[in-house]
Amino acid sequence: MGKLDKQKVVVIGGTSGIGLATAILAREAGATVWAASRSEDKVAACSTANPEIDFMQVDIHDTDALKSLFEKTGPIDHILGVATGAERVMAPFMTQTDEEFRGAFNKFWGYTNLARQGIPFLADSGSLTFVSGTPARKCNPGMSSVSCTGSAVEGLTRALALELTPIRVNVIAPGLIDTGMFDSFGDSRPEVLENISKNILLGRVGQAAEVAEAIMLVMTNPYMTGTTIDVDGGAMLP
């Protein structure tokens, strides 16, 4: 008997990285899992590799598509939002355009879409989980838009936890995680990851499965709500 046996889980942003790792763990724990993303190519590839999970193409900014997804699943137990749905420009605040700064907040607005469309289908014993990141509370230069977006996501989490109880609402804040975000470095990827690791207390970047384990914790622990969990290898320490 798995921890999620006979439960239903929906993952938006579930075809790569942290989302896919969580979808796989949830299925292994006994859940029926729907995983969605806006990339048709990723949906097709994941469907072939993981036939036990129901993958589909849904953009987190398409409220009609989200509504149709939840109408298909019916009553569910857990929702996870991982999709950024945003173009993020890393640059000092004063060199960013207003459009570039506002663009990072598309992640926040995507999460509000997910909450509005998904919450009516959540069981009272269920959970809603978002993903922010360490910049929300420890911001490096050039990351103001990402930091502010993460702070907004964490604030939304606490506000919804108060309003939606007994439904539980939590947020996971990963540090630097070895996902597709590093693919653009090509052959130099191992060197880039090694250099980054030198500034991390545990001496390495994290793995998507390690973040997924934290997400599984807040899904399955019935006494956790309004919580932010850092999975960052010690990055939040001075």
Q: Which CATH class is domain 8-231?
A: alpha beta
Q: Across residues 114-122, what is the average pLDDT?
A: 98
The pLDDT score that the predictor gives to residue 1 is 64
The pLDDT score that the predictor gives to residue 207 is 96
| C-alpha dihedral sign at 7, 12, 17, 18 | negative
Which parts of the chain are beta strand (E)?
A: 8-12, 32-37, 54-57, 76-81, 122-131, 168-174, 177-178, 206-207, 228-231
**Burial grade of 120 (CB within 10 A; 0-12, 13-18, 19 or more):** exposed
Least confident of 22-36, 91-105, 108-122, 221-235: 91-105
pLDDT single digits (tens) 142-183: 999 999 999 999 999 999 999 999 999 999 999 999 887 777
Query: In the chain, what are the domain boundaries?
Result: 8-231
The pLDDT score that the predictor gives to residue 198 is 86
Give pTM, 2 decimals.
0.94
The pLDDT score that the predictor gives to residue 3 is 93
